[in-house]
Amino acid sequence: MALHPDFEHVERAEKVARIMDNAFRVPGTRITLGWDAIIGLVPGVGDALALAPSLVVLDGARKTGASQALMGRMIMNLGIDWVVGLVPLIGDVLDVGYKANLRNAALLRAHVEARHRDGGNNVPGRAPFAHNGASASPGDRPAMAPR
């Protein structure tokens, strides 16, 4: 069974987040880092370039009807990640721990799951979800791919 498009956006966002924040593990430790931290090492433009893939997560939130408050929180996470990363060396170390993309992907998943759990009624301007012409009940759950 195919995923609802909202969950496809979540899957795409989680994939980008894993690549950007958790792609590699430091041997002998539980520390993970991703391309965000590596690209951020490039002086001057690294942190700005690392923001580009993060837009996939924001776009997924927009396409799933995220509220302005949720979008603001996600943008704030990216802003914190960007500002912290601007501090030479110390910022790069702290950037490994903050993981804004994983935070935003988790916020997106929570938003989409709540929206589908509530039958789509908590999204202004959107009609409730319907299956085969019948209105969705709060217990309806979309098929989700295994993690």
Tell me if 140 is assigned to some domain. Answer: no
Mean pLDDT, rounded, for 124-147: 42
Lowest mean pLDDT among 62-76, 84-98, 100-114: 84-98
pLDDT value at 125 more than 80: no
Give the 3-state secondary structure percentages of the chain, helix then strand then coil, rounded to 5.
60, 5, 35
pLDDT value at 48 more than 60: yes
Tell me if 69 is assigned to some domain. Answer: yes
Rg of the chain in Å (alpha carbons): 17
Q: How confident is the model at residue 121 (pLDDT cuts 50, 70, 90)?
A: low
Per the structure, the count of domains in the chain is: 1
Tell me if 147 is assigned to some domain. Answer: no
Is the Cβ–Cβ distance between 4 and 117 less than 8 Å? no
Nearest CA-CA partner of 26 in 109, 121, 93, 106: 93
Mean pLDDT, rounded, for 95-124: 83
- How far apart, in Å, are the Cα atoms of 140 and each of 64, 110, 137? 18, 16, 6
What is the pLDDT, as a whole number, of residue 137?
39
pLDDT value at 28 more than 60: yes
What is the domain range of residue 73? 5-119
Tell me if 84 is assigned to some domain. Answer: yes
